[in-house]
Structure 1
Amino acid sequence: MTKTKAFVDNYLPALLGQAWHLVSTEFHAVVERHGLSVLEWRVLSTLASNGPMTISALAQTTVSKQPTVTRLLLRLEAQGHVERSTSRDDRRYTLVKVTRNGRRLVTGLIAQAEAHERALLKPFSVQKIDSLKEILRELIDRHRPPV
């Protein structure tokens, strides 16, 4: 791989943005064919795999603004895909969980997302894949604001 002298070709945020766009666009088309918006997919798949979350944690994980997620949750709740409840630990927080209906909606898509990821990463060694994910998780942990 040739390293160029162009700033954007070596600037991590630009590289991350390009990689994200290229690899996610393909799968986003699959999501939309199933009648979901990308944010609906992110929210439902996050809740399906993480369990109940606060709205602020959900917004952070799905890389969305909290008011946008709150409006989306109202819609998803009306459709029977999520349920909201007050946290038992701290009544100031609302917890959101996916319903059986919401889980059913994204279970097949999660399997397709995993297959998409395997296809994307097939040319790379397990060691490179693990290193890439480890570095990205560490970057996220170091720069994530507290919830």
Structure 2
Amino acid sequence: MQTEPRFVQDYLLALLARASHAASAGFHAQLKARGVAVPVWRVLATLEGAGEGVTVGELAATCLMQQPTMSKLLDRMAAEGLVTRRREGRSMRVLLTLGGVTLAAELVAEARAHEAVLLARHAGAAPALKALLREIAG
């Protein structure tokens, strides 16, 4: 006799969270081995290729952090020589330093390789999956 899965086993939000955790685990281990915290990676990845920088508010939203927490993280990253801030009117733009550009490029290359291995297991569904996730994320 087959029973229905428990609610949480088939609940979209739980599935997304578990899938994210499973998909991220390997790459997060790579980050840890390099001494890079996940929030630092998220900032570096967000700033990578953003020549004019990104506002603190945009960074916080993209990295899923509260703005005060983001500001503290940026203070640490600036002290480590990874980012710099530039005031523009009432807002503050964050840019990568040369060291930040180098580290971001290395990590993005590693992330792309990790993603390629992960998506290769689901090659036929990968484009539709990414499109659906972009739509859900808004």
**TM-score (norm: length of structure 1):** 0.85
> In structure 2, which of residues 129, 132, 135 is the aligned counterpart of residue 135 of structure 1?
132
Cα shift readout 1:46-89 (whole Å, capped 9, x = no counterpart): 101344111111011111121111001011112221111112xx
Q: Secondary structure at the match of 1:125?
A: coil
Over the aligned positions, Cα root-mean-square deviation in angstroms equals 1.6
Q: 1:113 — aligned with what?
A: 111
Q: Report the CA distance between 1:36 and its aligned residue.
A: 1.1
1:8 aligns with 2:8: yes
- Counterpart of 2:118, as a letter, is L
- Counterpart of 1:95, as a letter, is R
Q: Report the CA distance between 1:5 and its aligned residue.
A: 3.0
Alignment of 1:1-147 (within 5 A): 4-51=4-51, 52-87=53-88, 91-126=89-124, 128-141=125-138
Note the residue ranges of structure 1 that are not aligned, 5 or more in a row: 142-147
Cα shift readout 1:118-141 (whole Å, capped 9, x = no counterpart): 111112234x21111111111111
Q: Report the CA distance between 1:4 and its aligned residue.
A: 4.6
Q: Distance in 2 between matches of 1:35 and 1:73?
A: 17
Q: Report the CA distance between 1:108 and its aligned residue.
A: 1.5
Change (3 A) 1:4 1:97: farther
Change (3 A) 1:103 1:4: farther
Note the residue ranges of structure 2 that are not aligned, 5 or more in a row: none
**TM-score (norm: length of structure 2):** 0.90
Q: Report the CA distance between 1:103 and its aligned residue.
A: 1.2
Provide the identity percentage: 40
Q: Report the CA distance between 1:112 and its aligned residue.
A: 1.0
